[in-house]
Structure 1
Amino acid sequence: MARWDEVERQALVDALRAASPDAPTLCEGWQARHLATHLFLRRHEPWRAFREQEGSRFAELAEQAADPSVYADVVERFAAPPAPLSPLALTDGPLGMVTNFAEYVIHHEDLRRGAGAVPPRSLPAEESDALFDALGLMARAGLRSVDVGVVLVVPGGRRRVVRKRPDSVAVVGAPVELALAVSGRRGAADVEVVGEPEAVAAFEAALA
């Protein structure tokens, strides 16, 4: 089975290398330098990755990365593998498909779409299938505030019930778009929400 997490990590590294430190992203308040810092810390110092307050390692390094040379160094540090004997090296094995794959796809789109709409990437069919497989747990967490049932649907393909309620909507789109929709990026996701008007309105309001 292909290691799609590694494919996406390399694609994300390439995109970060091509971006300027101040390139916009879909993550509110973040430029490319913040995203690169988050990714580096998540991969190499995960105990610091989610401490983003002023004075934190994240805040200090992201500020320093406004300098293009520091930014480039942060990106290369993200690209580098963890030390072989580190427990973090486990995420470069099969565990990475569980812990990293969808994260890398979404953050790649955060960078691609930060300045506005862009043409969608065309993923290999196997990768799209693997991404759809990875959406179950993420969707349940991301849609916990939604009071209607939700079915994720790939046009002409697979479907998955991720939230059961008497009134339901179908969220229809390619797996990348579905990943954006269920991860708090509804405004950037090219999906169609189908159902009774009240259910659709409730879904959209919850994700606004």
Structure 2
Amino acid sequence: MSLARTERHALVRTMSEVGPDAPTLCGDWTTRDLAAHLLVRERRVDTMPGIMIPAFAGHTEKVRREATDKQWSHLLSEVDSGPPKWSPLFLLDSVANAVEMFVHHEDVRRAQQGWEPRRLSTEVQDQLWKTGRMFARTSYGGSDVTVVFERPDGERVTVRKRGPRSVVLRGEPAELLLHAFGRDAVHVDKEGEPSAVAEIDGSKRGV
């Protein structure tokens, strides 16, 4: 089973356990809001432009809010079933949804008290390492700091080359990926000048 499917099912189980009103790391969204977002993203083609283009965001948000009225169990069931065959994401599920489902699963987990990083297999960490390196090249916007990712085994890669100042971010690939996506509830060690570290933390991270 692909990482996208594994994380999708795990995300739905976690949302079911914490309930529809639990907090997430997605601003003021509850788990119900997040589930509605995932459902609309995969089943309402007319809302897709609004995910990336501000001019269309109002329509996307209107449809998402309407989806929150669905019965909680029905909402979770539809999210769990994945994109329908007519969805543009159906054939791209394993590629387009692996990181989406992983990050949002952690958005739910890490918004709850007492969270700890999960023990992920080497295979999953390797996949997240590859994806995280690619995504980080377009993250950390607005800063003039070079960003280096380093895994616990010492492997490192420069993911964003800018000015002479640099910050090394050390952690498991899952933690580095989440940091690049703008999440602060991560276990990442940071090495660099304090001003450079602050600039990276305050940069435009995520999509």
TM-score normalised by structure 1 residue count: 0.84
Q: Report deviation, 1:85.
A: 5.2
> Secondary structure at the residue paired with 1:131?
helix
Q: Which runs of 4+ in 1 moved over 6 A?
A: none
Of the candidates 47, 59, 63, which is equivalent to residue 57 of structure 1?
Answer: 63
The size of the alignment, in residue pairs, is 197
Q: Report deviation, 1:113.
A: 1.1
Structure 1 85/202 Cα, relative in aligned 2: closer, same or farther at 3 Å?
Answer: closer
CA contact (8 A) 1:23 1:31 kept: yes
> Secondary structure at the residue paired with 2:202?
helix
Counterpart Cα distance in 2 of 1:117 and 1:180: 18
Counterpart Cα distance in 2 of 1:117 and 1:161: 33
Q: Residue in 2 aligned with 1:112?
A: 109
Range 145-154 or range 155-164, more displaced: 155-164
What are the ranges of 5 or more consecutive residues in structure 2 without an aligned counterpart?
A: none
Counterpart Cα distance in 1 of 2:148 and 2:167: 6
Counterpart Cα distance in 2 of 1:107 and 1:159: 26
> Secondary structure at the residue paired with 2:158?
strand
Q: Is residue 197 of structure 1 aligned with residue 198 of structure 2? A: no
Q: Residue in 2 aligned with 1:151?
A: 148
Counterpart Cα distance in 2 of 1:127 and 1:153: 17
Equivalence map 1:89-168=2 (5 Å): 89-92=90-93, 96-97=94-95, 99-165=96-162, 166-168=164-166
Of the candidates 168, 180, 183, which is equivalent to residue 181 of structure 2?
Answer: 183
> Secondary structure at the residue paired with 1:89?
coil
Counterpart Cα distance in 2 of 1:205 and 1:85: 40
Structure 1 185/60 Cα, relative in aligned 2: closer, same or farther at 3 Å?
Answer: same
* Identity %, equivalent residues: 36
Q: Report deviation, 1:198.
A: 3.1
Counterpart Cα distance in 1 of 2:91 and 2:170: 34
Q: Residue in 2 aligned with 1:12?
A: 11
Q: Residue in 1 aligned with 2:89?
A: 88
Range 166-175 or range 192-201, more displaced: 192-201
What are the ranges of 5 or more consecutive residues in structure 1 without an aligned counterpart?
A: none
Deviation string, structure 1 residues 96-144 (Cα, Å, up to 9, x no partner) = 23x1111111100100011345111000100010011111332123212
Q: Report deviation, 1:207.
A: 6.0
